[in-house]
Structure 1
Amino acid sequence: MALARLGGARRPDSYTWPGFVDALATLLMVIIFVVLVFVLIQVNLAYRVSGQDATLNTMREQIASLGEMLNVERNQNADLSAELDRITSQ
Structure 2
Amino acid sequence: MQQIPVWWRWYYWASPVAWTLYGLVTSQVGDKNGNLEIPGAGNMPLKQFLKVELGFDYNFLPAVAVAHIGWVLLFFFVFAYGIKFLNFQRR
Larger Rg: 1
| Structures share fold, TM-score greater than 0.5 | no
* TM-score interval, normalised by the smaller of the two chains: 0.3 to 0.5
Higher relative contact order (CA 8 A, sep 6+): 2
Normalised by the size of structure 2, how large is the TM-score?
0.33
Normalised by the size of structure 1, how large is the TM-score?
0.34
Q: Which has the higher strand share?
A: 2
